[in-house]
Chain A
Amino acid sequence: AQKITQTQPGMFVQEKEAVTLDCTYDTSDPSYGLFWYKQPSSGEMIFLIYQGSYDQQNATEGRYSLNFQKARKSANLVISASQLGDSAMYFCAMREGPYQLIWGAGTKLIIKP
């Protein structure tokens, strides 16, 4: 069974609009971490934001915020005021245990001018 599910293979969004990228996860471990990464066409993986399973507040980093709904096992990434440079692949990942990193299939985001 998929442990990390990103249901949106691709999205088109108008520049300056907010974007929500979906991520649901499945784990029985009470201690886990959730990550979002951006991968532009150059291929590098850029860390965006992290949410720990015990964190009480949703994580925020500049224009990025993570909508963490623990009961629903979802960790959606919200990008406010999207920019052309936000066009990229976005990956959700979960750390389960000391070294297990589990990755979603990714969402390709295209920002339209």
Chain B
Amino acid sequence: SQTIHQWPATLVQPVGSPLSLECTVEGTSNPNLYWYRQAAGRGLQLLFYSVGIGQISSEVPQNLSASRPQDRQFILSSKKLLLSDSGFYLCAGQGENTEAFFGQGTRLTVV
């Protein structure tokens, strides 16, 4: 079955520090991959999606970037975190004609 491993589960980082969140995919090849951010009690905001290695599309211009160095690896990064980057980050994958499957999420608090 398709699974996503996402880590860490929680993270507290100071303003101005760098960020690297990673997720890896198992059980499928060449999935579409997504990074979402979710504010408390709100819906999902799509940040980035990738249809293949090295292919990244940004939905919202901001302080973050994404990379896909391998087919099953998707990384969310920032060089300098802002307070407004706090939130719940979800990595998701989707194969052809399948439902999206999610990682456990990372709760990021920027202090």
Contacts and interface: CB of A to CB of B under 8 A. Distances in A.
B51 A35 contact: no
Pairs A-B, 10 closest by C-beta atoms: A45-B102, A105-B43, A43-B105, A99-B32, A103-B44, A47-B99, A106-B43, A103-B43, A50-B99, A44-B104
B87 to A, nearest CB: 11
Contacts of B61: none
B42 A45 contact: no
B51 to A, nearest CB: 6
Given A99-B49, A103-B44, 12 more contacts: A35-B100, A43-B88, A43-B105, A95-B94, A98-B32, A98-B96, A99-B51, A99-B94, A101-B94, A105-B42, A106-B42, A108-B41
Interface of B: 32, 34, 41-44, 46, 49, 51, 88, 90, 92, 94, 96-97, 99-102, 104-105, 107
A111 B41 CA distance: 17
Contact of A44 (B34, B49, B96, B102): B102
Nearest to A45: B102
Contacts of A79: none
Contacts of A105: 42-43
A47 B100 contact: yes
Contacts of B49: 99
B99 A35 contact: yes
B43 A104 contact: yes
B100 A93 contact: yes
A102 B9 CA distance: 25
A89 B104 CA distance: 15
A91 interface: yes
Given A43-B88, A45-B90, A45-B92, A101 B101 contact: no
Contacts of A91: 43-44
A57 to B, nearest CB: 18
A98 B43 CA distance: 21
Nearest to B50: A99
Interface in A8-46: 33, 35, 43-45
Contacts of B51: 98-99
